Amino acid sequence: MPELTLNTIPIKAAQAIRQAGFLAVLTGAGISVESGIPTFRDAQTGLWAKFDPRELATPAAFARNPKLVWDWYAWRRELVNRAKPNAGHRAIAELERRTPRFLLITQNVDGLHRRAGNRKLVELHGSIDRVKCSREGTIVTHWQPTDNVPLCASCGAPLRPDVVWFEEMLPGGALTAAEEAARHCDVLLVVGTSAEVYPAAALPSQAQAAGATVVEINPNRTPLSASADYTLRGPAGWVLPALIAALER
Ligand code: BV8
């Protein structure tokens, strides 16, 4: 697989995407970097710098210190609500408009793909904008303002973000749709993920085993880089618009 510099999009990669009857896209935190949202791997900023996100995004962390976890999500929600979709998000919305069959599979919880215009998408890890009862699982849209963790009005359990934490099962429907797309797509475009979090990280090998062409977009090498058919080494906000331009040639 040819590793490419910023100024070349391989003709064959562009051709594969242009000719794809069914294009699937898998995104990770990297696609939101150019919207100002830190990835899980980047050091967190400010008061959260001393915390490892993978230690906070767990049921055990929430059970141990619900307020710490609730406040961490409130800080991220604020960051996300101030952020705007970037050129990479907009390019993926354009790909949906251009492709007969399309599915966007995102690991991100920031909602920026939907704000950029994608509609055919599954959110494997939930959404930071939704809140649910930690006991009943019901989605809650209003709660009493409090300096502590708000409690469920019907059962009194603490509320929590409606995201999938480590060691939690993914929403069945979303994972099934993602695996179905991996097995049937012609091309899987993998953008901005370290390809280390399962079961999402298994999707590219499932797609390749079913005969799909796998194209990776990432400024850094990942465990996927060695097996991807094409690796476009650069930031999503630059490479994806260049890919759209290459589709026009
Ligand atoms: C589960 C929501 C069953 C919360 C998240 C082996 C097999 C199967 C499972 C496991 C296994 N080993 C361990 C597990 C369990 C675990 C797992 O995979 N652990 C990892 C650490 C090994 N998986 C789970 O627990 C999953 N559930 O398997 O259930 C089960 C049940 C019980 C016991 C065991 C299994 C649940 C996983 C979901 C966790 N929740 N998010 C929240 O967001 O707060 S995951 C979270 O981390 C994010 O959602 C994100 O998906 C993930 C980080 O991954 P990335 O998105 O890739 O982001 P990252 O920061 O890592 O990388 C960013 C990339 O962007 C980098 O490559 C960088 O180079 C690139 N980049 C930077 N700038 C740019 C860029 N790219 C493009 N443009 C740029 N400008």
Asked if 106 and 192 sit in the same domain, the reply is yes
Asked if 73 and 175 sit in the same domain, the reply is no
Which pLDDT does position 50 carry in this prediction? Answer: 76
Which pLDDT does position 6 carry in this prediction? Answer: 45
How far is it between the farthest Cα atoms of the chain? 59
Q: Which of 63, 72, 108, 75 is nearest to 89 (CA)?
A: 108
Render pLDDT for 174-223 as a digit per residue (tens, 0 to 9).
999 999 999 999 999 999 999 999 999 999 999 999 999 999 999 999 99
Asked if 142 and 20 sit in the same domain, the reply is no
Which pLDDT does position 53 carry in this prediction? Answer: 83
Which pLDDT does position 189 carry in this prediction? Answer: 98
How close is the Cα of 18 to the center of ligand 1, in Å?
Answer: 29
CA distance 219 to 201: 18
Asked if 142 and 242 sit in the same domain, the reply is no
Q: What is the CATH number of the domain that holds 55?
A: 3.30.1600.10
Ligand 1 atom 40: residue of nearest CA: 165
Domain range enclosing 75: 38-82+130-163
Decide the pairing of beta strands 159-163 and 126-133: antiparallel
Query: Residue 213 pairs with which residues in a beta bridge?
Result: 187
**How many structural domains are present in the chain?**
2
Asked if 179 and 144 sit in the same domain, the reply is no
Active site residue 125: yes
Asked if 106 and 184 sit in the same domain, the reply is yes
Q: What is the CATH number of the domain that holds 245?
A: 3.40.50.1220
How close is the Cα of 26 to the center of ligand 1, in Å?
Answer: 12
For the chain (249 residues), the mean pLDDT of every run of 10, in chain order, is: 58 93 97 92 68 89 96 94 98 96 98 98 98 97 92 96 97 96 98 96 98 97 97 95 90
* Pocket probe mutation, ligand 1, options 27, 35, 39, 54, max atoms within 8 Å of Cβ: 39
Ligand 1 atom 72: residue of nearest CA: 30
Q: If you write DSSP's letter for every residue of 126-189 in order, what string do you get?
A: EEEEEEEETTT--EE------SS--B-TTT-PBEEEEEPPTTSPPPHHHHHHHHHHHHH-SEEE
Asked if 64 and 77 sit in the same domain, the reply is yes
Asked if 193 and 229 sit in the same domain, the reply is yes
Asked if 33 and 45 sit in the same domain, the reply is no
Asked if 107 and 4 sit in the same domain, the reply is yes
CA distance 38 to 57: 15
Asked if 189 and 229 sit in the same domain, the reply is yes
